[in-house]
Chain A
C-alpha cells in the first residue's frame, strides 16, 4: 500500500517536472541561437570551398580562350566540340584511360585471387604477405615512385606506358586486396559447401556462387583502383619517360597555361562520375521499392 503511494508520488513529481521544463528548455534554445546559424553557415562555406574549383573548371571549359585560360573572354562551345584540336590533350587522356583500364584489370584479377587465398587458406608467409600488401599504402608515393624508377633503370627497362602500368598495378593491388578481403571474409563458406554438395564442380561453384557474391566488392575495388590510377601523378611522373598521362600533361601545361580543352575533359570526367553515381543510387532505390512491394 505504502509502495503504491510512493510510486504515485514519484510519478506526480515527474509530471510536475515535465510541466515546468519547457520554459528553461526554450530559453536554452534561444541562448544557443548562434549555434542554429553557425552550423549551416559553416556547412555552406565548406561546400563552397569544395565546389568552387570544380565550378571554376566547368565554367572555364566554355571560355573563349586564346593562349591562357585565366581571364574570362566570352562563352563558346568550341572547346567542347573540338576537344582534340589542342595537341596532346586527347593523347594524354587516352593514355590515362588505357593505363587505368589495364592496371585496374591486372590489379583486380590478382588482388581478388590474393584476397581469396589470404582469407581462405592458412599457408606459410601468410602474415608476411599481409604486411607486404600494406606497405605500398603506408609508404609515401614519392618513395615508391623514385624506388620503382631506380629499379627500372637498373633493370634496363625503358620507361613508357609499360612501366606506368606496372607501377599503377602495383599500388592499386593493395587497395583491391583490402577491399575484396572484407567481402570474402563476410562470405559464408557454407554457401560454397552447398554448391559442391549440389553437384557443382570447383569452377562451377566459383563462377556461379563465389564470384557473383563477391562481385559488389570486386566492382568497388575496380572503381577505386581505376580512380587511383587515373588520378595518380607522383608515381607516374617518376616512371613515365616521354609518355604523358592526363595529370602529367596538365602539370606540364600549367607552366604555360592550361588549355581550355583540358577543362573540358576534366569537366566531362567529373560529370560522368556524378552521373554514374546518380544512376546507381536511383536504380538501387527502384530495386528497393520493387522488393518492398
Chain B
C-alpha cells in the first residue's frame, strides 16, 4: 500500500518530458521540471497556458500522453490518484456540498483509515481559523472561508505535495493579500512542498521561492523571483513579469564585458553575461524603474546608456510612483517609472526629455521582440506561435 509514502515532510517532484494532448489540442507541450522538497513553487502563466492541466497530471486526474512523473523519487505515472501522496486545492474549491465543513476536512483521513479523523480535522480547521464554523455546510460560507476550508481539507492529510490551483483567484484584493501571507506561513509551518498555480505575477513573486513562467504549454524560464525579474531570458517573461522596455537591433560590437547593439541611431550596451545572444539581430531591454528621466542631453559617460531626445506623451500618477510615457523617434514608446520623491510630476506632458540607465541594468533576450501590447493582443485573440 502506498501509505508509506505519506511523509511528515515534503517530497520533491520531478517531471520528465511530460506532454499532454487532448483530442485536437496539445495543452502541455513538453515539461521538464524538478521541484525540491519543502519549497514553495509557483507556476505562473496566462489563462489557458496549461497550468491546471499540469496540476491534474501531477495529481493523477489526467494521464500524460508521454513522459514520467516522479514524487520523492518514486515513479507515480501509472499510480491511481487516490494512491498518490498528493492533495489539491481546486480552482473552484470543490467542497462536498452535502457534507458539513468538518466532514469535508475529515474525508481524506477517513478514506485512509487514520485514527481520530474528527480531532485532526478540528486541528486543521483551527489552523485556518474556521473551527467555529465546523458544523456548517459549505454553501453557508463566504468565498474566502470556503477557500480556507479547501486548504484545510488538503493540508490535514499532510501530503508530500500540495497542489494549489489559483486558490486566491476569487477573493478580493485585500483578502487575497492576507491569504497570501497565511498560505506562506502555513507552508513554513507544515514544511510541505507547495506547487502554487497563479496568473498573478505579483502573487507568484511575493509567495514563491521558485517561479516557473509558463506559456503555451511550455516553461519559458525558472528561477528565484528576483532572478526572473532582473534577468528575464525571453520577451514573454520580460513582459509577463512586470513591464519592460525592449529594443531590437543588430549587434555591432561584442566584447568580453559588454556587447553593443545599434538601435535607433544609438548604441546600447548590455553586459555580455546578461545577454542570451551575442551576435546578429537581438532584443535588449531594461525595466521602467531603472530609467532616469533627464530634461537635458547628458554628456556621454562610460557605463551609462542614453536614448533621446523624446517627448513625454503621458504622465500618470499612481501613488508611490509616476509613470511617464516617452515617445522617442525610431524607438517607439518608452515607459519610465519615477519615484515620487518630490510633490507633483517632475516633467510635464510635451516636455523634451532624454532617458538614461546604467549598462549593468540592461538584459539581452533570446528571441525576437514582442511588445507588451502585441503580447496582450495575442493573448486575447490566441494568435499562432511565431
List A residues at the B interface (Cβ < 8 Å). Answer: 188, 190-191, 193-201, 204, 208-209, 212-213, 291
Chain A residues, Cβ within 8 Å of B107: 195, 198, 200, 208
Measured between alpha carbons, how far is A214 from B60 in the docked complex, in Å?
25
Chain B residues, Cβ within 8 Å of A188: 92, 94
- Identify which of B82, B86, B140, B153 contacts A291 (C-beta below 8 A): B140
Whether, in the assembled complex, B157 has its beta carbon less than 8 Å from a beta carbon of chain A, the answer is yes
Chain A residues, Cβ within 8 Å of B87: 197-198
**A213-B98 CB under 8 A given contacts A193-B61, A197-B59, A198-B157:** yes
Which residue on chain A has the smallest CB distance to residue B140?
A: A291
A-B contact pairs, 20 of them (CB 8 A): A190-B91, A190-B94, A191-B94, A191-B96, A193-B59, A193-B81, A193-B88, A193-B94, A194-B94, A195-B96, A196-B61, A196-B82, A197-B61, A198-B82, A199-B82, A199-B83, A200-B107, A201-B82, A201-B111, A291-B137
Which residue on chain B has the smallest CB distance to residue A192?
A: B94
Interface contact B111-A199, CB-CB below 8 Å: yes
Measured between alpha carbons, how far is A194 from B59 in the docked complex, in Å?
10
Which residue on chain B has the smallest CB distance to residue A190?
A: B94
Task: Name 5 extra pairs, CB < 8 A, besides A190-B92, A196-B80, A198-B107.
Answer: A188-B94, A194-B88, A197-B81, A197-B88, A200-B111
Whether, in the assembled complex, B377 has its beta carbon less than 8 Å from a beta carbon of chain A, the answer is no
Chain B residues, Cβ within 8 Å of A199: 82-83, 108, 111-112, 157
Measured between alpha carbons, how far is A195 from B153 in the docked complex, in Å?
11
Interface residues of B in 76-123 (CB under 8 A from A): 80-83, 86-88, 90-92, 94-98, 107-108, 111-112
Q: How many A-B residue pairs have CB under 8 A?
A: 62
A183 CB, min distance to chain B CBs, angstroms: 13
Which residue on chain B has the smallest CB distance to residue A199?
A: B111
Measured between alpha carbons, how far is A85 from B108 in the docked complex, in Å?
58
Chain B residues, Cβ within 8 Å of A196: 60-61, 80-82
Measured between alpha carbons, how far is A198 from B84 in the docked complex, in Å?
9
Measured between alpha carbons, how far is A196 from B84 in the docked complex, in Å?
10
Measured between alpha carbons, how far is A196 from B60 in the docked complex, in Å?
9
Chain B residues, Cβ within 8 Å of A209: 96
Measured between alpha carbons, how far is A13 from B80 in the docked complex, in Å?
73
A135 CB, min distance to chain B CBs, angstroms: 30
Give the total of B residues in contact with A, Cβ under 8 Å. Answer: 27
A275 CB, min distance to chain B CBs, angstroms: 26
Measured between alpha carbons, how far is A208 from B157 in the docked complex, in Å?
18
Chain B residues, Cβ within 8 Å of A197: 59, 61, 81-82, 86-88
Measured between alpha carbons, how far is A188 from B91 in the docked complex, in Å?
12
Chain B residues, Cβ within 8 Å of A201: 80, 82, 111
List B residues at the A interface (Cβ < 8 Å). Answer: 56, 59-61, 80-83, 86-88, 90-92, 94-98, 107-108, 111-112, 137, 140, 153, 157
- Identify which of A190, A194, A204, A212 contacts B98 (C-beta below 8 A): A212
Which of A188, A191, A204, A212 has the most chain B CB atoms closer than 10 A to its own CB?
A191
Measured between alpha carbons, how far is A208 from B94 in the docked complex, in Å?
14
**A198-B97 CB under 8 A given contacts A188-B92, A190-B92, A193-B90:** no
Which of B61, B86, B112, B137 has the most chain A CB atoms closer than 10 A to its own CB?
B61
Measured between alpha carbons, how far is A142 from B87 in the docked complex, in Å?
56
Q: Which 3 A-B pairs have CB atoms at the shortest separation, nearest pair first?
A: A198-B108, A199-B111, A190-B94
**A190-B108 CB under 8 A given contacts A196-B81, A197-B61:** no
Chain A residues, Cβ within 8 Å of B88: 193-194, 197
B1 CB, min distance to chain A CBs, angstroms: 11
A42 CB, min distance to chain B CBs, angstroms: 41
Interface contact B111-A198, CB-CB below 8 Å: yes
Measured between alpha carbons, how far is A291 from B300 in the docked complex, in Å?
75
Measured between alpha carbons, how far is A201 from B107 in the docked complex, in Å?
12
Which residue on chain A has the smallest CB distance to residue B114?
A: A199
B157 CB, min distance to chain A CBs, angstroms: 7
Which of B86, B107, B137 has the most chain A CB atoms closer than 10 A to its own CB?
B107
Which residue on chain A has the smallest CB distance to residue B92?
A: A190
Measured between alpha carbons, how far is A232 from B86 in the docked complex, in Å?
53
Which of A190, A191, A194, A199 has the most chain B CB atoms closer than 10 A to its own CB?
A199
B107 CB, min distance to chain A CBs, angstroms: 5
Interface contact B140-A194, CB-CB below 8 Å: no
B2 CB, min distance to chain A CBs, angstroms: 9
Chain A residues, Cβ within 8 Å of B112: 199
Interface contact A200-B82, CB-CB below 8 Å: yes
Chain A residues, Cβ within 8 Å of B80: 196, 201
A123 CB, min distance to chain B CBs, angstroms: 14
A193 CB, min distance to chain B CBs, angstroms: 5
Chain B residues, Cβ within 8 Å of A291: 137, 140
Measured between alpha carbons, how far is A194 from B91 in the docked complex, in Å?
11
Interface contact B61-A213, CB-CB below 8 Å: no
